[in-house]
Amino acid sequence: MRVTDRSLEDAVLDLLGHRAPDASVCPSEVARAVHGSGDEGWRELMEPVRRAAARLAARGRVEITQHGVPVDPAEARGPIRIRRPAGPAP
């Protein structure tokens, strides 16, 4: 499979679609799923996955979090998680 920006974005949304509504995914999970091989090549996809998540966040499709708190993807340093946006309070 050729890795494109779109395929990374689709992989993020696909993984979230198979999780509970309040669950999140780690960029490494997305990278491993896209890479699809047991070798360490998935590591090269980590930054592209973070950029894909940032694009999705800019469109309101996901939130980027650190320690469970939404953060600006441009300001995030270190480990992040990706989740669906929090809905309006009931």
* Mean pLDDT value across residues 7-21: 96
Whether 1 shows a pLDDT value over 70: the answer reads no
Whether 55 shows a pLDDT value over 90: the answer reads yes
Name residue 9's amino acid: E
The encoded tokens of residue 64 equal 């980027």
The reported pTM is 0.90
Q: What is the pLDDT of residues 23-35, one digit of tens each?
A: 999 999 999 999 9
